[in-house]
Structure 1
Amino acid sequence: MNNNLNCKYSYIGVLVLFLFLISSQAIAQKLTKDEAIRLTLENNFGIRIATNNIEVAKNNKGILNSGYLPSLVANAGANYQSANSTTSFPGVTERVPVAGTTDTITRPRPDIEIEGAETQRYNASLNLNYTLFDGLGRFYNYKRLKEQYNLTELQARSTIENTILQLFTVYYEVARLSENVEILEETLRISRERVSRSNYQFEYGQNTKLNVLNAEVDVANDSINLLNTKQQLINTKRDLNVILNNDLEKEFEVDTVIQFTPKIVLDEYVEKAEENNVTLLQNKSNIRISEYDIKVSKSGYLPTIGLTGSYGWNENRNPPSAFFPGNIADTYTLSGGINLTWNLFDGGNTVTRVKNARIALDNQEISQNQITQEVKRDIANALGNYKNRLNVYEIQQQNVLTNQNNFERSQERFKLGQITSIEFRQAQINLILAETNKNAAKYDAKIAELQLLQLTGQLLNIEF
């Protein structure tokens, strides 16, 4: 008997442990803000493309693409020829002795036939070319490539900032919907209690069937609101998984705690915004590139001086001919030289390039004035929006306290039968609206702060 009980308890213990493990695995993992940023920086498609673009710009600004290194070209060749030849001597005679006598006879000179005469030629050479001076074109082009690398970094930074802002826009939407789900779950719980209470009161003759039906209608409405909000939350989590490049169905919970940047720090960021705004920095980089373009174009006015050098080897293997014996000839050559090229007039191409480069620079400077004005306007608007949303959030916080107090009083009076179910429901709806509006105001204020921080160039330098 005891053995059976021990086995039974052991089985129950194993079952409880198994259910605990399953429930532990079912609990969604907490996705912190720092973890979300890390995953985005590592996996986001747009950021990965921007990182690759930086690598391309880094390669372009390297010494191997500068034009400062010489070119060394190796050439080699081999040629083989096999020929059959016949040499005739028309009208030419020769005297040859008669065998066994001292006499000679005259006969035509016979043809000389050579079959399979092989001719072989081999050659190899190294040719060196180096530009000593090209009118400073490569010097300024090298500087231009370095500035292009800086511009690519700024473009990548802009991509990262936009992606981080997009990340937290969706992240905080998940947080808002998560809190709304909790509010609606609590609302549904209270509405179900109200149905139970109404049924008891109806059974004991203290209530009418109409109150029961009203309570059931409210439960149905609360259930629908909860289902819709949960579906919105699921969809928004998928949106966040796309940004993180996660599995679309990966489940997680987010951090709903919000910390705002202190006002004194924010004021300092706004004061130095023109020094750090990524759009203004990109425009300044474009201006420097345009200045280098002018100098590169002007290099066409100056001469080009270059060095050349070569070392070569040739070998000819000639077969014997009708008149000469075969021979092998080896030749080694070493040569060097300096050349100067000066395009005194190129049909006006250089003049046109210089003029167009100056116009491009002028356009960049005009664009800088326009962008500066727009950035100032955007910062002023963003700062105003942030302050306004922060004030709205503070008002909504107080509004929640007021409606919470009103609901608790209404709930007590409803239990005592001092107010109708309609009045109680109205107090409940007011509390739901106040709480959801407070959540929306909280995250709207935080997103407005992030937009302001992006414009001041500090989005990547703060703690989230």
Structure 2
Amino acid sequence: MKNTKNYRKLRSVTQFVFFLLMGSGVVAQKLTKQEAIRLALENNFGIILATNDIEVAENNKSVLNSGYLPTLSGNASAVYNRDNIEAQFANGETNVLNGAESDRYNASVNLNYTLFDGLGRFYNYKRLKEQYNLTELQARETIENTLLQLFTVYFEIARLTENNEILEETLRISQERITRANYQFDYGQNTKLDVLNAQVDVANDSINLINAKQQLLNTKRDLNLILDNELTQGFEVDTTVSFINKLQISSFMEKAMENNVRILRNQSTIKINEYDVKVSKSGYLPTVGLTGTYGWNKNNNNAAAFLATSISDGLSASVNLSWNIFDGGSTITRIKNAKISLENTEIQQRQVEQEVKRDIANALGNYENRLQVYEIQQQNVITNQNNFERSKERFKLGQITSIEFRLAQINLINAQTNKNLAKYDAKIAELQLLQLTGQLLNIEF
């Protein structure tokens, strides 16, 4: 009777723990891959900053910032005088004026336009457009890195979710086993050692599940940080994984060097440096400018002046040429430095191409290797599942010990969790390969 009471007490406690571990049964929010991408594009800090950089670059490449438009300025002034004047005329007469008042007013509109500046603004305008392209490529690289980071965490949540399901099933089986062991002990069919072994396994399985659930919650918080979104801790992710067929991978590999963002970004930098050389060379050529002015003047003179009032207005225009024949060597120095910068970026381009080729080859090898591991792990799960089912039947018949049954159970757990790890490792390797081939933003997730 004492053993029966202890068993009932233990059973109630373990059932309570099991209920807590399994959750309350509330339907959780589903976070699809597409929804995760949308949230990342809208909320991720890095992507927002990159988008703002694109807007700045777009403003800079506008014609308003090109130097091709004229400048127009307006000036106006008013002057008031109150003087004491003693005026002596040629005939010897003297005239004294106290508090003589006079005022002057003028206004003008000035137009300045550069007709020719040695093609400096022409190449600078092209440079600004290329700078915009470079900023877009930098933003694309930021988005690719963010999506790769996003799915690394997203698939880690998926892996931990499936592992939790495995551990929950393991705990359920261990619960059944402890129930069977206590009944058998009550009826004298086994020893106390079998009951204790079952209790130890239930405790270990409970601890493993508790730790796994905590790890899952922590990883979900990591995803919230990437998305900058306070999703409820109970949200679930999509655990389905599909792989791209080999023909598509081959087609992506053929154009990898044309689409890789690092190579494209360096090519854009080369173009910018080429324009820098041409802009610097414009210092050798003259500058031709056009100036136009429309002015209006009015003078109200005092009594000592020859004219009491005068009003004038008029239009004037001029063309001027400026040629800096020798500027102390500044232009020569700028050209030399610009050419060195261009040469450096060309050298970097060759280096980047070699590094990208290596990275793509490594990524392809890793991807193929992890796919093979995943296939092997799938077969390993089937083998261990069959072994566990047979061990379970033999354990019920008393043909194997609880230790042998537990070993079969642990082998199945390891096979299942290793299969999950291999599946998501292969998917992440595929995404890394797609990023290197420049196709990460062109596929359906």
Q: TM-score with structure 2 length normalisation? A: 0.91
Which of 1 and 2 has greater Rg? Answer: 1
**Residues 402-443 of structure 1, C-alpha deviations (whole Å, 9 max, x = no match):** 111111111111111111111111111111110000000000
Match of 2:419 among 428, 438, 445: 438
Give 1:32's aligned residue.
Answer: 32
User: How high is the sequence identity, in percent, across the aligned residues?
Assistant: 72
**1:4-403 to 2 correspondence within 5 Å?**
26-83=26-83, 85=84, 87=86, 112=96, 114-115=98-99, 117-247=100-230, 249-321=232-304, 324=305, 327-403=308-384
Where structure 1 has 5 or more consecutive residues not aligned to the other structure, the ranges are: 1-22, 95-108
Task: Quote how far apart the aligned CAs of 1:154 are.
Answer: 0.5
Task: Quote how far apart the aligned CAs of 1:180 are.
Answer: 0.5
The secondary structure found in structure 1 opposite 2:127 is: helix
Relative to structure 1, the CA distance from residue 250 to residue 200 in structure 2 (aligned partners, 3 Å threshold; closer, same or farther) is closer
The secondary structure found in structure 2 opposite 1:345 is: coil
Relative to structure 1, the CA distance from residue 299 to residue 86 in structure 2 (aligned partners, 3 Å threshold; closer, same or farther) is closer
CA contact (8 A) 1:242 1:248 kept: no
| Distance in structure 2 (CA, Å) of the matches to 1:210 and 1:119 | 120
The secondary structure found in structure 2 opposite 1:319 is: coil
The secondary structure found in structure 1 opposite 2:398 is: coil
Where structure 2 has 5 or more consecutive residues not aligned to the other structure, the ranges are: 1-23
Task: Quote how far apart the aligned CAs of 1:172 are.
Answer: 0.1
CA contact (8 A) 1:176 1:443 kept: yes
| Distance in structure 1 (CA, Å) of the matches to 2:85 and 2:146 | 84
CA contact (8 A) 1:241 1:250 kept: no
Give 2:400's aligned residue.
Answer: 419
Task: Quote how far apart the aligned CAs of 1:250 are.
Answer: 5.0
**Residues 376-415 of structure 1, C-alpha deviations (whole Å, 9 max, x = no match):** 0000000000000000000000000011111111111111
Task: Quote how far apart the aligned CAs of 1:73 are.
Answer: 0.8
CA contact (8 A) 1:238 1:249 kept: no
Q: TM-score with structure 1 length normalisation? A: 0.87
Task: Quote how far apart the aligned CAs of 1:325 are.
Answer: 7.8
| Distance in structure 1 (CA, Å) of the matches to 2:106 and 2:207 | 88
RMSD, aligned CA? 1.9
| Distance in structure 2 (CA, Å) of the matches to 1:372 and 1:294 | 24
CA contact (8 A) 1:308 1:336 kept: yes
**Residues 175-234 of structure 1, C-alpha deviations (whole Å, 9 max, x = no match):** 000000100000001111111111111111111111111111111111111011101111
| Distance in structure 2 (CA, Å) of the matches to 1:283 and 1:88 | 78
Counterpart of 1:187 in structure 2: which amino acid?
T
Task: Quote how far apart the aligned CAs of 1:255 are.
Answer: 0.5
| Distance in structure 2 (CA, Å) of the matches to 1:282 and 1:39 | 26
Counterpart of 1:401 in structure 2: which amino acid?
I
CA contact (8 A) 2:217 2:233 kept: no
Relative to structure 1, the CA distance from residue 87 to residue 350 in structure 2 (aligned partners, 3 Å threshold; closer, same or farther) is closer
Give 1:450's aligned residue.
Answer: 431
Q: How many residues are matched? A: 420
Counterpart of 2:58 in structure 1: which amino acid?
K
| Distance in structure 2 (CA, Å) of the matches to 1:308 and 1:31 | 64
CA contact (8 A) 1:137 1:297 kept: yes
